[in-house]
Amino acid sequence: MKLSFRSSALCTATIAGLLVLTACGKKEEQQNAAPAAASTAPAAPAAAPPATAPAAATTAAQSPAPAVQPAPAPAAPAAADTLKVGSVTLGNAVGADKKVSKEKTAFAPTDKTIYASVATEGTTAGATLNAKWTYQDGETTTTVSDISQSISTDGPAVTTFKIQNPNEWPEGKYKLIVSLNGQAVGNEAFEVKKK
């Protein structure tokens, strides 16, 4: 019986000790939380001026940051403006480098595909190249194709456009107008005729 009484007493003492330790931890948490809540609620007017002063300092410190951030933003469009079209080359085949293999300004009606290589210089984070192909039949101009491609580059690049016709091309005069971001920058005339 003494053995079981000792076991009960030991268990009771252990549980009591754990409860005391647990209560101590909770009391410290409550004390740490309580002063913050108490100082915020009753002393709101007293706490407001110190809070306002650091906020003003923080606002003053943040004010230059937005002023600095807009400065780099215009720099990005300026980089886009450095992109220029160097040359436009027409032909009926392109190589792995996207360049026209052999420059031509006259094509046969049986040439199924006509390519244009547009060489650009400069840099851009994003620009749009457009190729508008037209056929001129006397006074009438008909759009054959109007294709746009988005490009981004940090140096010289080549963009390839093409038009295809499973049938024979009508004989006559054609024109390719290349635009960069909506502004015409290149104009190449070519013709389709029998040899």
Taking the chain (195 residues) in runs of 10, the rounded mean pLDDT of each run is 55 57 50 43 41 38 45 44 88 91 94 94 92 92 94 92 94 95 93 90
Question: Is there a single domain that holds both residue 169 and residue 88?
Answer: yes
> Cα angle at 55 between 51 and 57, to 5 degrees?
120
Residue 145, pLDDT score: 95
- Distance between CA atoms of 119 and 124, rounded to whole angstroms? 14
Residue 106, pLDDT score: 95
Question: Is there a single domain that holds both residue 142 and residue 168?
Answer: yes
Question: Is there a single domain that holds both residue 36 and residue 87?
Answer: no
Question: Is there a single domain that holds both residue 172 and residue 96?
Answer: yes
Question: Is there a single domain that holds both residue 182 and residue 89?
Answer: yes
- Distance between CA atoms of 55 and 60, rounded to whole angstroms? 8
Question: Is there a single domain that holds both residue 140 and residue 56?
Answer: no
Residue 137, pLDDT score: 86
Question: Is there a single domain that holds both residue 119 and residue 48?
Answer: no
Residue 135, pLDDT score: 95
pLDDT tens digits, 20-64: 555 555 444 444 444 444 334 444 444 444 444 333 333 334 444
Whether this prediction's pTM lies above 0.95 is answered by: no
Question: Is there a single domain that holds both residue 10 and residue 64?
Answer: yes
Question: In a 3-state reduction of DSSP, which class is residue 88?
Answer: strand
pLDDT tens digits, 42-53: 444 444 444 443
Range of the domain at 169: 82-192
Question: Is there a single domain that holds both residue 86 and residue 171?
Answer: yes
134 with 177: CB under 8 angstroms?
yes
In a domain, 135, yes or no: yes
Name which of 135, 146, 141, 143 is nearest 171 in CA terms: 135
| CATH at residue 179 | 2.60.40.10
Q: What is the CA radius of gyration of the chain?
A: 39
Residue 116, pLDDT score: 95
In a domain, 25, yes or no: yes
Question: Is there a single domain that holds both residue 113 and residue 24?
Answer: no
Residue 4, pLDDT score: 58
Number of Cβ atoms within 10 Å of the Cβ of 125: 12
